[in-house]
Structure 1
Amino acid sequence: MKVSHSLAHLFTSQTRLKLINLFFYSPGSLFYVRELVRLTQEEINSVRRELQNLEKHSIIQKEQRGNRLYYWSNPSHYLYYDLIILAHQHHGLGSAVQENRLKLGKIKFLFYSQEFLTHPADSNHSVDLLLVGDVSLKLVGEYIKTEESSIGREINYMIMSVDELRLRLNKRDPVMVDFFLNYPALIIGQPDNLSK
C-alpha cells in the first residue's frame, strides 16, 4: 500500500499508518492478521503490535471467528468519520486527484456523498462525488475508471465549474440540494472557500 509523505510525518509508525488507511478506506471490512501482513507488506510482529495499539485506543475492534481473529474499524470511535476522510484524502481517487492537481486543472473542491465515503461498493446515491473546478474531463475520467475497477461498480459523478455550482445552489437545483442536505464529505478544498 502506497503511503502519502505528508501523512507519514504525522504518524510515528509506517505500519500504523498503513493499517489506519486499510481499516478506514473501506470501513466495515473485516481483516485477519495474515491478510493485513500481505496488504501492508510489513513484518507480522509489527502488524500485531500496531493492532494491539489501535485496539487499546478503541480505534479498531476484533472478534474470533473459527480459528481466525478478525479486525475492523470501530464505528463508535469519536474519530471514526475523520479517519475515513483522512484515508480517502490519501488513498485511491482522492489521492490521485490530490497528487495530480496541476495536470488536472484548477480543482476547487472534491466532495464525496456520505454513502460513497462509508460504503463505496454499495452506494446508491444519485451523485457519489462532485468535482468542482475547471478540470481535464479526460484525465478525471481515467482516475474515476481506475477507482471504479477498484470498488467493482460504476461511480455516479458530476463535474462543474464554481460558477455553475453557485448557479445551481442559488436556483435550488434538486440534485444539488439533495446532495448537500446529506452532508457530503469535503475531500479536497477548504470549506471557507465555498461561500466565496
Structure 2
Amino acid sequence: MKAKKRLPKNRAAGLEQLFGSRTRVKLLKLFLNSPEKMFFVREIARAINSQINSVRRELLNLKDLGIIREVEASKESYLIPKVDTQKKFSGKFKQVKNKDVIKKFFQADGNFILFPELKALLLKADFLLEKNFVNAVRRAGSVDYLVLTGRFVGMPGISADLFLVGRFNRRKVARLIKSFEKDFGREINYALMSRQEFRYRKDITDRFLYNILENKKIVMVNELGLK
C-alpha cells in the first residue's frame, strides 16, 4: 500500500525548519524571485521587515553556501526595493542615484548548482500556503467568488491581492488575513463585496472591479458563472 504524503501541521513551519530561520526564508524568496537585482543590507532589512543583525548573519550564511554573491558596484544609479507604510516589501523597485563611489551589494548567484531546484521548492511551498489560505478564507463565510491576483500572480500594480464576493464576517476575515500576512512575510491587500454590490459595480463598468476581472488572476471559487 502506497503511503500518503504528509504536509506540515504548522502552515509556515515547514520551510523555516528546513532552512533554519524565517529570515533566511524571506531572503531566499527575495533573491530567487529577483535574481537580476542587486540589494544592499539596510534596504534588504526594510524590504523583508527583519532586524539588520539577523539579516547580516543570514546573508553571510547564504554567501558561504554559494546561493548569493557579494558585488562591489559604482553605478550612477541602481534599483532598490520599495517599501509600503508598514516598511514591508511592496513588490516594486525604485531607481536612486548612487551617492558613494562604491557600494557593496548582494545578488543571487545564478551559477549556484541548485538554483532551479531551490526556486521550484519555494514556489511549491508558496502554493501550499496559498491553498491553506484559500481554504481558511472559504470557512470564514459564504463565498460566491474568490480570486488571487496582484502580488500572488506577479502583478503588484493591481490594487488587490485577494478579491472576495459573498457574505462574510468582515472582522473575522480581517483577523484571518492578518495572521497569514506573517506567514507570507508581506501585507495582503484585499477587497470584499456582497453579490448586490458586485452586480451594481459590474453594471456600471466600475474601473476598480474591471481592473481585477480583466487582468491575470487565479480563480479559486466561481459560483457567479463568470468567464
TM-score, normalised to structure 1's length? 0.50
1:110 and 2:163 aligned: no
Alignment-derived partner of residue 22 in structure 2: none
Amino acid across the alignment from 1:193: G
Computing the radius of gyration from Cα coordinates, the structure with the larger value is: 2
* Correspondence 1:65-104 to 2 at 5 A: 65=112, 69-71=114-116, 72-73=118-119, 90-92=128-130, 94-99=131-136, 101-102=138-139, 104=140
**Which has the larger share of helix?**
1
Is the strand fraction higher in 1 or 2? 2
Equivalent position of 2:183 in the other structure: 150
Q: CA deviation at 1:128?
A: 1.6
Partner Cα distance (1:98, 1:178) in 2: 25
Counterpart-to-counterpart distance in 2, 1:99 and 1:147: 10
**Cα distance in structure 2, aligned partners of 1:191 and 1:135:** 15
Deviation at 1:119, TM superposition (A): 3.9
Answering whether residue 225 of structure 2 is matched by residue 189 of structure 1, we say no
Gaps of 5+ in 2: 1-5, 9-24, 36-61, 66-109
Runs of 4+ in 1 over 4 A off after TM superposition: 86-90
Structure 2 length normalisation: TM-score? 0.44
What is the CA deviation profile of residues 36-95 of structure 1, one whole-angstrom value per residue up to 9, with x for unaligned ones?
xxxxxxxxxxxxxxxxxxxxxxxxxxx642xx6323557xxxxxxxxx7x9767424x42
Task: Check if 1:129 corresponds to 2:162.
Answer: yes
| Distance in structure 2 (CA, Å) of the matches to 1:154 and 1:100 | 16
- Superposition RMSD on alpha carbons, in Å? 3.9
- Which one-letter code corresponds to 2:194 in the other structure? S
Shift of 1:157: 0.9
Task: State the SS of the aligned residue for 1:193.
Answer: coil
Equivalent pairs counted in the alignment come to: 130
8 Å contact kept, 2:160–2:190: yes
Q: Secondary structure at the match of 1:169?
A: helix
Any idea what SS the aligned residue of 2:226 has?
helix
CA 1:3 to 1:99, structure 2 compared with 1: closer, same or farther past 3 Å?
Answer: farther
- Distance of 2:119 and 2:158 partners within structure 1: 23
Change (3 A) 1:193 1:90: farther
Q: Which residue of 1 aligns with 2:195?
A: 162
Identity of aligned residues (%): 25
1:144–1:70 CA distance, 2 compared to 1 (3 A): same
